[in-house]
Amino acid sequence: MAVYTEVSLDEASTFLTSLKLGNLQTLEGCSGGIENTNYFVTTDQAPYVLTLFERLSAEQLPFYLRLMKHLAFHGIPVPDPAANRDGDVLHSLNGKPAAVVNRLKGKSELAPGVDHCRQVGAMLARMHLAGRDFSMQQPNLRALPWWNETVPVVLPHLEPAQAQLLQAELAYQNHVASQSAYTALPRGAIHADLFRDNVMFDTVDGVPTLSGFFDFYFAGTDAWLFDLAVCLNDWCIDLPTGAADLERSAAFVDAYASVRPLTPQERELLPAMLRAGALRFWISRLWDWHLPREASMLQAHDPTHFERVLRQRVAYPLTLQQLHNADALPA
């Protein structure tokens, strides 16, 4: 259940009218999601999603909402936050920060094939390029400094072999981050959490067609390659084992590179960033699992999944040369 703050028909109607989004027709609490209160609403103009932010601070929200607005303006299919007459996209409803965005068509594809990966890869690159002239900056709040802070907190909860892997990987990532190749990685606004459940596909003429990226609430400014690695670790693996699926990985990377060719440093650091992406979600899942926040509404995800992914990425580093048509990738 993802309605933590009730909104009545009258309250929603007044709110939507004030944003000039039309006359309310339906209001339905959305059962998906665990972070925010979401309502699907329809007016005589269009279908929308009304979100009341339960945990994110009003300090961080403008970055996420402005980024979505910027990307939507540049033709990337992402929810476009509605602005009031002063141009503000962050509103307030029933004591909570709130936003209204257009509702994306379709549904998530939780068992993606090669063609889904191709579409997401190409759109990810388009999104990175579209973010180049976004003027706001916010660090990725789940990056190396947070890993260094959080690893000591979760360590006491681990088995010795897990603790050893976690510490060794953190040391390795600190080393990678000190290298000149890492500093030279192109950077910009990244989604940072573009898993299968944060992308929609709609069926157009019988063909599954990407209809949007959403849930930008871990977005930040970071290496584009990290975003690509996070995606490969979710879209292009065998979920039960965490092993890379080479065909889907090649499709994803080729499609990405056909829009934005990878730099030599990105090609070099792909295996290291795949490990970084696995480490990031292993740490956050361990943190949510072992240290649930008081009155938390989060249902923690299984941390051992990302331990498996990390072990796979360490044991079998995925290089571009391994991908079937890696030679054809632009350098």
Ligand X SMILES: N[C@@H](CCO)C(=O)O
Binding mask 159-198 for ligand X (x = CB under 6 A): ----------------------------------x-x---
How many Å apart are CA 207 and CA 210, to the nearest integer?
10
Q: Does 119 bind ligand ATP (CB under 6 A)?
A: no
How many CA atoms does the CB half-sphere of 18 hold within 13 Å? 16
Q: Please return the burial class of 140, using the count of CB atoms within 10 Å of its CB with bins 0-12, 13-18 and 19+.
A: buried
Span of 29-37, 163-171, 236-244, 312-320 interacting with ligand ATP by CB under 6 A: 29-37
> Which residue in the set 13, 38, 119, 265 belongs to the binding site for ligand ATP (CB under 6 A)?
38
Q: Does 66 bind ligand X (CB under 6 A)?
A: no
Span of 103-111, 257-265, 280-288, 323-331 interacting with ligand X by CB under 6 A: 280-288
Q: Does 285 bind ligand X (CB under 6 A)?
A: yes
User: Which one of ligand X, ligand ATP, none interacts with residue 281, CB within 5 to 8 A by kind?
Assistant: ligand X
How many Å apart are CA 126 and CA 132, to the nearest integer?
10
Q: Does 215 bind ligand ATP (CB under 6 A)?
A: yes
How many Å apart are CA 308 and CA 310, to the nearest integer?
5
Cα torsion at 38, 42, 47, 52 (round to 10°)?
-20
> Which residue in the set 16, 27, 49, 61 belongs to the binding site for ligand ATP (CB under 6 A)?
49
Whichever of 48 and 252 has its CB closer to ligand ATP, that residue is 48
CB atoms within 10 A of CB 183: 11
Q: Does 211 bind ligand ATP (CB under 6 A)?
A: no
Span of 32-40, 61-69, 122-130, 238-246 interacting with ligand ATP by CB under 6 A: 32-40
User: Which one of ligand X, ligand ATP, none interacts with residue 48, CB within 5 to 8 A by kind?
Assistant: none
Whichever of 107 and 301 has its CB closer to ligand X, that residue is 301
Angle 29-35-39 from CA coordinates, rounded to 5°: 20
How many Å apart are CA 275 and CA 181, to the nearest integer?
16
Q: Does 30 bind ligand ATP (CB under 6 A)?
A: yes
Tell me, rounded to whole angstroms, the distance of Cα 83 from its chain centroid.
Answer: 23
Strands 91-93, 24-29: pairing is unpaired
> Which residue in the set 4, 11, 22, 34 belongs to the binding site for ligand ATP (CB under 6 A)?
34
Nearest partner of 36 among 54, 50, 59, 48, judged by Cα: 54
> Which residue in the set 172, 176, 301, 314 belongs to the binding site for ligand X (CB under 6 A)?
301
Q: Does 79 bind ligand ATP (CB under 6 A)?
A: yes
How many CA atoms does the CB half-sphere of 260 hold within 13 Å? 20
User: Could you please report the per-residue DSSP string of 156-210?
Assistant: GGS-HHHHHHHHHHHHHHHHHHTSHHHHTS-EEEE-S---GGGEEEEEETTEEEE
Q: Does 36 bind ligand ATP (CB under 6 A)?
A: yes
Q: Does 103 bind ligand ATP (CB under 6 A)?
A: yes
Q: Does 32 bind ligand ATP (CB under 6 A)?
A: yes
Q: Which helix (H) or strand (E) holds 99?
A: strand 96-102
Whichever of 2 and 259 has its CB closer to ligand ATP, that residue is 2
Span of 6-14, 66-74, 211-219, 317-325 interacting with ligand ATP by CB under 6 A: 211-219
Chain contacts with ligand ATP (rule: CB under 6 A)? 2, 30, 32-36, 38, 49, 79, 101, 103-104, 197, 214-215, 217
Q: Residue numbers of the site for ligand X (CB under 6 A)? A: 193, 195, 281, 284-285, 301
